Amino acid sequence: MFPVDLNLLRVFDILMDQRSVTRAAQQLGLTQSAVSHALRRLRAHIDDPLFVRGLGGLQPTPRAEEIATGVRAALMQLETALSQRPFDRLSTTRTFEIAAGIYFSTIMLPEIVRHARDESPNVSFRVSQPGPDLKAALDTGQIDIALGAFGQVEERLRKEVLFEEELVWIAAARTLPNKPDVSMDDLAGRPRLEVSARPRRFDTSGMNAIAGLELRTSLAPPSGESPPYVTVHDALSATALVAASDLIALVPRQIASREAKRWRLRVIRPRESERIELSMLFHSRFNHDPAHMWLRELARRACRSLS
């Protein structure tokens, strides 16, 4: 197979995004005939139609879907290598993309922003919820770092454990005995609320151990207990619901400590300590990128500030 022209890969990447020869030509600054000619050459090289006409525009074939992530990652890596300049944190206006749930946005992000404002006042941050496309977003550079409780990851992704968080039970103070030492015995038989990060309505196949990226989604008690009365996607919602009911919930200690006074909650430690590892994920190709290294060090310092 003869070497592929990088310009063809660029056309392919834009077509995957736009699903239209017209829109791709506009974005690339080419004529429609030039884009069509490039697509014909690439089809001949790959020996696959790559795109077929369908409702809403061009639809990628299975082969196109198979190579799309790798093509975009290769283009991003080449662009990074050619454009990398010394990182000046005082003058840079870069926007960093962070995938983080409510826990990290509440507990850690304020510390990251505080340190960044002191060192690099012109940077900006865009924070989004981790989703089923997180692995692809890290591959393509759409996300710089992801913060969460992750298990197994593929070799091309780096996982750095930032700290361990203890899990504790919470209950509304008005529903518990008025005594200084409330124990797990006082919670026996109580209906529980479960915190689960898994979005049931969406495909999460890209975030499991088979695909190489496992997201630990549930802060649930050991199996064998009755199903939860309520399931929510974040610990902050859990604190409000527990305060308004007789439910109990297992939540991260930092959230419980911050919200206990506001909602008049009691915090009860489990009989056996329960902890989860909270980590930072990033793509290995950014391991020595100066801007990326600065961002990761911000995250580490934010964690040290919390300990």
pLDDT digits (tens, 9 = 90+) for 136-160: 888 878 899 999 988 888 888 999 9
N-to-C CA span, the chain = 56
What is the number of domains present in the chain?
3
**pLDDT (0 to 100) of residue 153:** 86
The CATH number of the domain holding residue 10 is 1.10.10.10
Indicate whether 223 pLDDT > 90: no
Residue 1 belongs to a domain: no
Please give the helix or strand (H or E) that residue 100 lies within, else none: strand 95-100
Nearest Cα neighbor of 59 from 17, 19, 10 is 19
- d(CA 100, CA 235) in angstroms, rounded, equals 14
pLDDT score of 85: 66
Q: Mean of the pLDDT values across residues 14-26?
A: 91
Find the range with the poorest average confidence among 75-84, 239-248, 270-279, 296-305. Answer: 75-84
* 144/185 same-domain check: no
Q: What pLDDT, in 10s, does the model give residues 43-77?
A: 999 999 999 998 878 999 999 999 998 888 888 77
Asked if the structure places residue 89 within a domain, the reply is: no
Same domain, 10 and 66: yes
| pLDDT at residue 102 is higher than 80 | yes
83, 112, 127 — which closes off a domain? 83
CB atoms within 10 A of CB 137: 19
Q: Distance (Å, rounded) from C-alpha 146 to C-alpha 159? A: 9
Residue 16 sits in which domain range?
6-83
Length of the chain: 307
The verdict on residue 29 lying in a domain is: yes
Q: Which two tokens stand for residue 101?
A: 């749930």
Q: What is the pLDDT of residue 233?
A: 87
The C-alpha atoms of residue 307 and residue 302 are separated, in whole angstroms, by 9
If you ran DSSP here, which 8-state letter would residue 301 be given? H
Residue 12: helix, strand or coil by DSSP? helix
Q: Is the pLDDT of residue 274 over 60?
A: yes
Cα–Cα separations (whole angstroms), residue 47 to 13, 33, 44, 145: 17, 20, 5, 36
Q: Are residues 209 and 268 in the same domain?
A: yes
Give the model's pLDDT for residue 301: 94
Of 181 and 56, more confident:
181
When pLDDT is averaged across residues 219-232 and rounded to a whole number, the result is 69
Paired tokens of 254: 């930092």
Output the average pLDDT for the chain. 86
Q: What is the pLDDT of residue 56?
A: 79
User: What distance in Å separates the CA atoms of residue 132 and residue 12, rounded to the nearest whole number?
Assistant: 23
Same domain, 183 and 267: yes
Pairwise CA distance, residues 145 & 73, whole Å: 15
